[in-house]
Structure 1
Amino acid sequence: MIIQDLQIKRRNIPLRVPFKTALRTATEIENIEVSLTLENGIIGQGAAAPTFVITGDSSEGIEAALTGPIKTALVGTDINGFQTALQRIQTCCVGNTSAKAAVDIALHDVYCKLLNIPLYAFLGDKRALTTCMTVGVDTPEKMALDAKKSVEDGFQTLKVKVGANPQLDIARIEAIRSVIPNTVMLRLDANQGWKPKQAVQLIKEMEEKQFHIEFIEQPVAGYDLDGLKFVTERVATPIMADESLFSTKDAFKLVTGHYIDLLNIKLMKCGGISQAWSIASIAEANGVACMIGSMMEPTLSVAAAAHFAAAHPNVKYFDLDAPLWLSEEPDVMTYKGENIQLSDLPGIGSVL
């Protein structure tokens, strides 16, 4: 069955409220949708969201990669050579992980539609999924209000953005802890906002204050692996790599070199489901658990990540709340409080 065409469409989706991290403030997301059409008319869909400050990918760059080398690599090939097609996506150009992720998702979607099975079934499992809810960087008082509302909405794990002003970070967590039960787990994401010695000092203070932090994401700059290891070796709280992890090579170095305790996999960083699976398996072989995360992305690509997470046994943590920040309602996956329900329709669940 021949892949006949690849088409793209760009649209912006406003957020319900601004999303703030140590790296940026977003009020909307750019969404690049990609469609793969088979010769029998079946269409598979994927999507990507550019994030200059993390992946370096722009909308224009994603579109150029999709309509240039990626389209050339796929159109005219046989979908039944599925693994070969996945390899062609990864090798047709350097970088461009967001574009590769979008078409990798679309290829999985169209192949599963051809087989008439959901993506999770193709990948091999459907474990129950829950998600944390993100609390964006703000004043301690505003973050405490946001955290309290999230708990009232049914979330038992909160991912708290810190790092924009390290001097305020202790006050932020104290304010949040003062309004939520100790049974609610906190995860911190510094988004590369701390220096190594500063990170150790802050984390040890949080440990002394018994803030019940489950783990801390990317406390230092993504390129600073020595700094990351410095922090990991000096605190009791588990440290997770995010911006330090893009490729399977990164994963291998991080886990075999004991730079971190945990890995955060994002499809936009690594290039799609196939690469995410390899990263999770590398980590599993080295006794390192993984989380599935997402950028500010459309529901379609987050749902693809959710299908992957439901199937891979080494994905132990889930951060899939991005669709809840969008002004449009999720379609190919549904939320009830922190619980996620995947579509049982073929592929990811999109209907054209």
Structure 2
Amino acid sequence: MKELHLILKNIKNKELLPIYFFHGDEPYFVDVALKSFENDVLTEDEKAFNQTVVYGKDTNFSEVLSLARQFPMMGDRQVIILKEAQEIKMTDKEAKALLQYAENPVESTILVIAYKYKKVDARKAFTKALSKGKMLFHSEKLKDHDVPKWIDQELRTLGLKAKPNIPVLLSQYLGTDLSRITNELQKLKMILKSDENVDEKAIEKHIGISKDFNVFELIKALGKKDEVNSFKIAHYMGKSKSTSLIMAMGSLYNFFSNLIIFHTMKGDSPQNQASVMGVNPYFLKDFAEAAQFYNLKHCTRCISILREMDLKSKGLGAINMTDSELLREMVFKILKVDQYKVKT
């Protein structure tokens, strides 16, 4: 959610809107905002009289709006927070009432509505009114390739220094669950000393991701056509319960897609190359090395191999093959890509 930092800043400065309607399929940003509204708007004494939290399964919009129209007791403002609003089946009457309230909210009330895991209907009149008043906030899931950038920002926010490959490594193994990623980063913040950096050893020790046998190291080994290490890493990953074949294929797909871009931008500045590829310039040396072993034709063949493995992982063309076996077959074919014939 692009507006999150501004919302948190405005809460701190007590520069508040009368309504905040959060919606979208990424719950993490909504939860962060709700926590700040609960903890940072009113003092502890004010909360006893002027802060109310209700849940969608236990109420309806008519009751919530009735609370919102009340005036604060022994204070200047009240905070009404509706969580899990997506659980409410909104009637036409309630939609009309919400529209009326959005057009004429009570100034002494801060009404916060969390409509999580999906988008609210943009065609509704109240939605349009909220949007016009800049009181509607969309919490959208990050795309896979944006997660490392987000992790990097969170590391900086926490004051943690990390090697450039760490955000990528964490995103590959923790996926796109931002809450889980945040918990792991918070854990590192508490455990590591002020002069310690987040590196592969810290990740292995405190999060459980092997510093030697992971997707990142597999890509590096394949990029060098290092057969011994590639098969060694694939073997270990195949035995590890934390390894996802789909995740590995996705990471390799991104790598070879970027390697194609690297080939086509030969002679361009490193800054432009990194920008177009969406990677840290630190990684360009790895692409330069891989480009010596995989020409453009080989890159497109590798992507074909990955598509073939994807189909097999879904039960098409593979009889009783485990993910571990598919991973080893994928590694073998990529290493022998100059001999690989694309299936038609």
Please identify which structure carries the higher helix content: 2
Please identify which structure carries the higher strand content: 1
Larger radius of gyration: 2
Is the pair's TM-score, using the shorter chain for normalization, greater than 0.5?
no
- Indicate the TM-score class for this superposition, using the shorter chain for normalisation: under 0.3
Q: Name the TM-score, length of structure 2 as normaliser.
A: 0.27
Q: Name the TM-score, length of structure 1 as normaliser.
A: 0.26
